[in-house]
């Protein structure tokens, strides 16, 4: 296994554990076991659990951007279909996980961001970076809707993109609190109404 493959294996295990449980509930023994390697190997690549968390947020960004955002933009040219696809992909992922273990996990970025916001500037900054990337895609949706004459707002695209990201965050918190995958599709409907009335 290459160094990069080892790091990816560690980060994917960390994402899963931090998402299903929490950062504080995950110890290095559990993380190394989930990654299928000993603690010494994990520490050889990451000096601390916080360093793993920061890198895991970056890895989660890479995975989410590719599967949710890039693929939605590649599959559809219509901005509303892109928006729907973003929510649909997140819904499908959460629904299958819920059917497997009966738990709604919420947003991996919000979960770790809230948990470590006051104790880790690195994690907080990594989460904010992820949200900024996602907002870039939402801004493109807004700009395309404005160009088509369908947008009902005259606010700047960047502001509307932040509003859309906030809606997604709230949607995933609601789905976790209510144990309802359907809440994600409800969030999609709310985002659509917000943009086009």
Give the pLDDT confidence of 140-151 residue by residue, as tens digits: 999 999 999 999
Q: Are 97 and 111 in contact (CB under 8 A)?
A: no
Residue 71 lies in a domain: yes
CATH number reported for the structural domain that contains residue 61 in this entry: 1.10.357.10
Residue 186 lies in a domain: yes
Write the pLDDT tens digit of every residue in 137-183. 999 999 999 999 999 999 999 999 999 999 999 999 999 999 999 99
C-alpha span between 14 and 9 (Å, rounded) = 9
Residue 107 lies in a domain: yes
Residue 26 lies in a domain: no
Residue 179 lies in a domain: yes
Among residues 44, 8, 14, 18, the alpha carbon closest in space to that of 31 is found at 14
How many other β-carbons are positioned within 10 Å of the β-carbon of residue 20?
Answer: 15
Q: Are 129 and 54 in contact (CB under 8 A)?
A: no
Residue 25 lies in a domain: no
Residue 156 lies in a domain: yes
Listed in sequence order, the residues at least 6 apart from 27 whose beta carbon sits closer than 8 Å to its beta carbon are none
Structural domain of residue 137, as residue ranges?
Answer: 57-196
The domain total for the chain is 1
- The rounded mean pLDDT for the chain is 97
Please measure the distance between the N-terminal and C-terminal CA atoms of the chain and give it in whole angstroms. Answer: 52
**pTM exceeding the 0.85 threshold for the entire prediction:** yes
Residue 126 lies in a domain: yes
C-alpha span between 163 and 92 (Å, rounded) = 23
| Run means of pLDDT, 10 residues per run, the chain, 197 residues | 94 96 95 96 96 98 98 98 98 97 95 96 98 98 97 95 98 97 98 96
């Amino acid at each position: 296994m290459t160094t990069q493959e080892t790091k990816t294996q560690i980060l994917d295990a960390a994402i899963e554990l931090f998402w299903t449980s929490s950062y504080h509930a995950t110890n290095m023994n559990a993380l190394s076991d989930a990654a299928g390697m000993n603690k010494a190997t994990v520490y050889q690549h990451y000096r601390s659990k916080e360093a793993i968390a920061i890198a895991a947020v970056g890895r989660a960004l890479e995975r989410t951007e590719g599967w949710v955002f890039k693929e939605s933009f590649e599959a559809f040219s219509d901005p509303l279909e892109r928006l729907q696809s973003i929510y649909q992909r997140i819904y499908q992922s959460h629904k299958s996980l819920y059917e497997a273990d009966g738990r709604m996990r919420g947003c991996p970025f919000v979960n770790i961001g809230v948990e470590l916001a006051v104790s880790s500037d690195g994690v907080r900054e990594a989460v904010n970076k992820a949200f900024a990337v996602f907002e870039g895609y939402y801004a493109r949706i807004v700009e395309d809707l404005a160009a088509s004459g369908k947008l009902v707002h005259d606010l700047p695209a960047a502001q509307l993109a932040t509003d859309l990201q906030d809606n997604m965050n709230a949607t995933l918190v609601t789905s976790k609190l209510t144990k309802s995958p359907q809440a994600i599709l409800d969030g999609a409907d709310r985002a659509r109404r917000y943009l086009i009335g």
